[in-house]
Structure 1
Amino acid sequence: MRKPSDLIGKSLTRSLTPEQINAGQRGGGQGLQRVAEVVTIDEEARTVELAFSSTTPVMRWFGEEVLSHGPGAVDLERLNNGGALLMDHNWRDQVGVIVSSRIDADQVGRAVVRFSRSARADEIFQDVVDGIRSHVSVGYSVSEIKEEKRDGQANLVTVTRWAPFEVSMVAVPADQTVGVGRSGENLPEVTGDDTGQIAENETGAGNEAAGNQQREFEMETIITRDNEGNLVRAKVDDNGNIVEVVEMLERAGAGDAALLQRGREQEATRVRELTEIGSQYDAEDLALELIRSGQGVEDMNARLLDHLHQRSTNHRQIMDRSDIGMTDDEADQFSFLRAIRALANPTDRAAQEAAAFEFEASDAAAEAQGRDAQGVMVPMNVLMRAPLNTGTGGVGAGDTGGNAIANPLLSQSFIQMLRVRAILLRLATPLMGLVGNPDIPTQEGGATGYWIGEDGEAAEDILSLGQRQFSPKTVAAYSEITRRTLKQTSMDIEALVRSDLALALATSLDLAGFYGTGTDDQPLGIANTNGVNVVDFGGAGSGGGAAMPTWEDVIQMESEIAAANADVDRMAYVQNAKMRGHFKSKQKFAGTNGAPIWESDNTVNGYRGEVTNQIKQGDVFHGDFGNVLVGMWGGLDLTVDPYTHSRRGRLRLVAMQDADFVLRHAAGLCYGTDAS
């Protein structure tokens, strides 16, 4: 098929619609694209101001396109509602967010974007600061157009209503009339198709260059079959879509009609299956998107988990409130200390009356979970809130970060305390507020390509998919508090109690996530999951202990994951403190006095290094820990044991939480150990 820049001679012979423009784009249905440049950079705020669109004409397969920037022409709602900053229009490669966008009086679209602090985004942002990446591209969809048919030229298509929906960093620009201080320059004419290919007039081209400015498209004539199965000679566009039937060569026979009917039945089956999955998992919008883009059940399974996680993240507070009817103010009033005092002194009427609100909330949370609390059930929306405090901004040991209620990150909430103290919870993908035993689609292996004969059918097992069920297991951990401390009413003491409980739970969850046996009421940890890569460090270490890994062992762990096509930039190495000391003193190559395995920027083999003493001596875990899904149910069951250390005047606080681990793609992780 010829490229748009090669189609010269005749204009389109039928009316053009916005649907044809949107459907005719290449690139997986991700819309049209225009390219501009970076304008200004604020390194401290990690923001960049850029120009993303102008009225410059750009050659498309349907003619010469001009984007209107007049009043009401551009719908900026999606950009201004947390629009994504991507790399090369890849929806799975987000590096930042759009802070604001606008259309200025000079008919140029401009936006302020902020880069995230992930390793990937930091790399891209540094390239922008250094001037290596200076071009950006906007992805957009068309709603209304005005078409002008021109003799001897390509049709002029003015897009009178359009909506940008993302901005991307790209390498090759197509629209060079906007950018750093160049919004009004007269530049040589640039034409390009929607893939970013460019043909620019050379200086001194003279009359020949003027002729190039009047290019138009020539329809290619081919023999093909139409939607009814008829064999026709037809003019088609660059994507093979029939524009005009020139001649009917053969009407569809009985055999062709049967093939056509089978195709229709297969399409009906695809639509039905996607619709059923969407209805089952409350993902109707995702199913409709895949139906429109021609994707199948395999694509639905691959994207469903991300959809469920995002839905859980966005709506968990709303869901929790609907469960027990608590408002934000009521959640802020819930006090661990009042509940503990009442549990520790069941005959103290004053303590019981003071904790009446906590007991009422506990009863409602227990009823929502369908089980009885052992002590006091702390509702999930209480755990997601940060207690009020006028502290020092989070720098103190018990400080909750000042008036953190207005902080959307809720950095000192109990759940966040838990994640900060648990390495695995911080690296994994959390799914909070689960109900029942949800089934999670998993990828068991990679896709396989193969050849089929004429009229052959694709095998259904080309992508190995599976399904695992989250099943709640109860983890119990304890902390201790003195009776004198319990008498305090300081918010700092409240935060300290919550912090100690979070630490106790975090260590238990971390250990189970790495080494859980899957038996004796434990979840199944990474080390014991089938499909996880294993590297044997081999041999006994000094003094009969576990063998310590070499640089070659570290590289092999990465290679095992890469061999399964599961290596990504966000992988990490996790080990204990002694292993970190070994890596800091172990040369990569013996006898060369070279660099140690542990780099000065706290990385190992180019990936982040994490340390937790939950890892056994001699063990190392490596991979994309985002493949580890951590499910947590309901609230926190808090009980008080006043008897074990009664002679010392101490109370033992026991916290119980329902949780489970599921590995979405086991081959994306590697367990290194001395197996001898």
Structure 2
Amino acid sequence: MLDSVKIAKRQSEIRQAIAPLAGKTNPTEDEVRQMGDLDREYSTNETRYRAALIAEDTERREAGADLETRSGKEWADLMGRFEVRQIVHALDTGKMLSGQTAEIVTELRNRGSFQGMPVPLAALEQRAGETTSGGITYPGQLYATVARLFPASVAAKMGAATINVDVGDVWIPVTSSSVTAGWAGEADNVPGPVPYTEETRTLKPDHNLGVHMRITRNALKYSGQTLEQSIRSDMLGTIGAELDKAVFLGTGVDGQPLGVITGAADYGITEQAVSAAASWSAFRAAVVAFMTGNAAAAASDVLALIRPEVWSKLDDTLIAGTAVSEWDRLTGNIPAGNIAMSANALAAPAASATTALLTTAAGGIPPITVGIWGAIDVIRDPFSDAQSGGLRLTALTTVDVAVARPAQLRVLTGVQI
């Protein structure tokens, strides 16, 4: 028995012995002396109890460290004490595992995923009279899973705001009336009042994005502790890439939300036909339109989304007689941090021409609003791959896109590269 347990038991006995003595109104000298002895012993045991806990904690840590750093040879020695009959009894009657068998099963469960009771293969391979070569370990090493590549997210960089919705629709009211002002002379009336009106932008939970993952039994066994990180990375990257594409290029049909570029006419977003080579002057015209429409106060307030081919064209075009490129002129007015490049959020060039998008956050209002309903719903399908021992997961999320003020966005078409 552990010392701490023995001391705790003795402390309980002391409390039981001292309780009736403490309740006496006129204790005798022997009883007073007995209470003093018990009190001194109790105080001493408190110190001994704390010391015992510290010593036993150190022993536990050393034992745990010894288990974690156990070499292959020591693991093989431990495997020699594994009892398969305990596994049989546990499956048959639910009897608890004990000894080295319980220790090995616990360590195997920490390393991998098992629906039943894990039995090490080495325990089944042992035969009477066989010996195991000492100091020989399997040379395989487990590294972190190498994740796949996903396009960088640009929706947030373009000023899109994400709101989380519990249930139902979301209405975004936008002022649609204009206030008039005018001067009046003596005894004249000022211009009459204009009724205040609003328009409503609605986010509806009508668009569901699904990510389907099929995890084979081999992946479950090979990946080990890195499997959870790999699944999170894959799921997050896939959802992020598809959301980016839908926010800008969503068709509005087949379950997709209507993207701001594809649905520019429906949202009332101005489409400016450049029909010329990519240059700072083409972007400058759109920036001027923002400034004259009170959507931006300076070029530095504007965010730009372009394809990598546009950057290549701008960087390769030098101003005559100088070493300054069109890209230098663009970043001299629109900071490079305000420019996002993506081959996922913008359609591929057609006939050597592509599209660009400019946005700005006027009055703190985001140019694009993305509504996400609830959390990602991960559903397990335990039946489809039951025969192969695989696992199928489906992640569902409901999303919609809305534009509050079309004046905060501008689509540039026909940007030649």
TM-score, scaled relative to structure 1: 0.33
Sequence identity of aligned pairs in percent? 21
What whole-Å deviation, never above 9, does each CA across 1:279-308 have from its counterpart, x for those lacking one?
xxxxxxxxxxxxxxxxxxxxxxxxxxxxxx
CA distance in 2, matches of 1:665, 1:396: 44
Which residue in 1 is equivalent to 2:317?
A: 586
Which of 342, 365, 373 is matched with 1:612 structurally?
342
Structure 2: tracts of 5 or more residues without a match: 1-108, 119-143
Structure 2 residue aligned with 1:483:
217
Match of 2:272 in 1: 535
Structure 1 Cα separation of the partners of residues 177 and 245 of structure 2? 27
Which one of 502, 514, 520 corresponds to residue 254 of structure 2? 520
What is the deviation of 1:601? Answer: 11
Contact 1:598–1:604, Cα closer than 8 Å, also in 2 = no
2-side partners of 1:609 and 1:536: how far apart?
A: 20
The 8 Å contact of residues 355 and 415 in structure 2, kept in 1 or not, is answered as no
1:674 is aligned with what amino acid? G
Residues 1:460 and 1:552: Cα distance change in structure 2 (over 3 Å): same
CA contact (8 A) 1:471 1:660 kept: yes
Deviations 1:46-77 (A, max 9, x none): xxxxxxxxxxxxxxxxxxxxxxxxxxxxxxxx
Displacement of 1:668 in angstroms is 0.7
What amino acid does structure 1 have at the position aligned with 2:357? F
User: How far 1:580 moved relative to its partner?
Assistant: 2.1
Quote the Cα distance in structure 2 between the aligned partners of 1:666 and 1:439: 16
For residue 29 of structure 2, what is the aligned residue in structure 1?
Answer: none
Tell me the equivalent position of 2:126.
none
How far is 1:639 from its partner?
A: 4.1
**Structure-to-structure mapping, 1:432-581, within 5 angstroms:** 432-444=164-176, 447-450=179-182, 454=189, 457-461=192-196, 465-472=198-205, 473-479=207-213, 481-487=215-221, 492-527=226-261, 528-529=263-264, 530-538=267-275, 548-568=277-297, 569-581=300-312
Contact 2:145 2:223 in 1 (8 A): no
Instruction: Give the SS at the match of 1:537.
Output: strand
Deviations 1:334-393 (A, max 9, x none): xxxx9xx99xx9xx5689xxxxxxxxxxxxxxxxxxxxxxxxxxxxxxxxxxxxxxxxxx
Describe how 1:250-649 pairs up with structure 2 within 5 A. Answer: 421-426=152-157, 427-444=159-176, 447-450=179-182, 454=189, 457-461=192-196, 465-472=198-205, 473-479=207-213, 481-487=215-221, 492-527=226-261, 528-529=263-264, 530-538=267-275, 548-568=277-297, 569-587=300-318, 589=319, 591-599=320-328, 605-606=334-335, 608-614=338-344, 615-616=346-347, 617=349, 618-624=354-360, 626-639=366-379
Q: Whose RCO is larger (CA < 8 A, sep 6+)?
A: 2
2:399 aligned residue (638, 659, 674): 659
Q: Assess, with a 3 A threshold, how the Cα gap between structure 1 residues 455 and 600 changes in structure 2: closer, same or farther.
A: closer
Output the amino acid matched with 2:271. V
Change in Cα spacing, 1:673 to 1:640, as seen in structure 2 (3 Å) is: farther
Using a 3 Å threshold, how does the CA distance of structure 1 residues 432 and 488 change in structure 2: closer, same or farther?
Answer: farther
- CA gap 1:485/1:513 in 2 versus in 1, 3 angstroms: same
Distance 1:525 1:445 in 2: 26
Distance 1:666 1:548 in 2: 26
Query: Equivalences for 1:168-247 in 2 at 5 Å?
Result: none
Is contact 1:479-1:500 (8 Å) kept?
no
| Runs (5+) with no aligned partner, structure 1 | 1-337, 352-394, 399-417, 539-546
Larger radius of gyration: 2
CA distance in 1, matches of 2:145, 2:330: 26
For each residue in 1:560-609, what CA deviation from the matched residue of structure 2 results, as whole angstroms up to 9, or x when unmatched? 2223211154421112222222222233x4x2334223349967634611
Question: What SS does the corresponding residue of 1:423 show, helix, strand or coil?
Answer: coil
Alpha-carbon deviation of 1:487? 3.5
Equivalent residues of 1:629, 1:661 under 8 A apart: yes
| Cα contact 2:177–2:194 (8 A) shared by 1 | no
Q: Output the amino acid matched with 2:201.
A: R
Letter in 2 for 1:471: K
Contact kept in structure 2, 1:535 and 1:553, CA below 8 Å: no
Q: Secondary structure at the match of 2:251?
A: coil
**2 CA distance for matches of 1:437 and 1:663?**
15
CA distance in 1, matches of 2:367, 2:397: 22
The Cα shift of 1:559 comes to 1.9
- Bigger mean CA deviation after superposition, 443-452 or 639-648: 639-648
| CA shift for structure 1 position 640 | 5.5
Question: Would you say the 8 A contact 2:268–2:406 is kept in 1?
Answer: yes
Does the aligned pair in 2 maintain the 1:597–1:604 contact within 8 Å? Answer: no
TM-score of the aligned structures, taking structure 2 as reference length: 0.51
CA drift of 1:479 comes to 4.9
**Distance (whole Å) between structure 2 residues aligned to residue 638 and residue 671 of structure 1:** 36
Greater strand share, 1 or 2?
1
Separation (CA, whole Å) in 1 of partners of 2:229 and 2:332: 33
Residue 585 and residue 439 in structure 1: after superposition, are their counterparts in 2 closer, same or farther (change >3 A)?
Answer: same
2:311 touches 2:327 (CA, 8 Å); kept in 1? yes
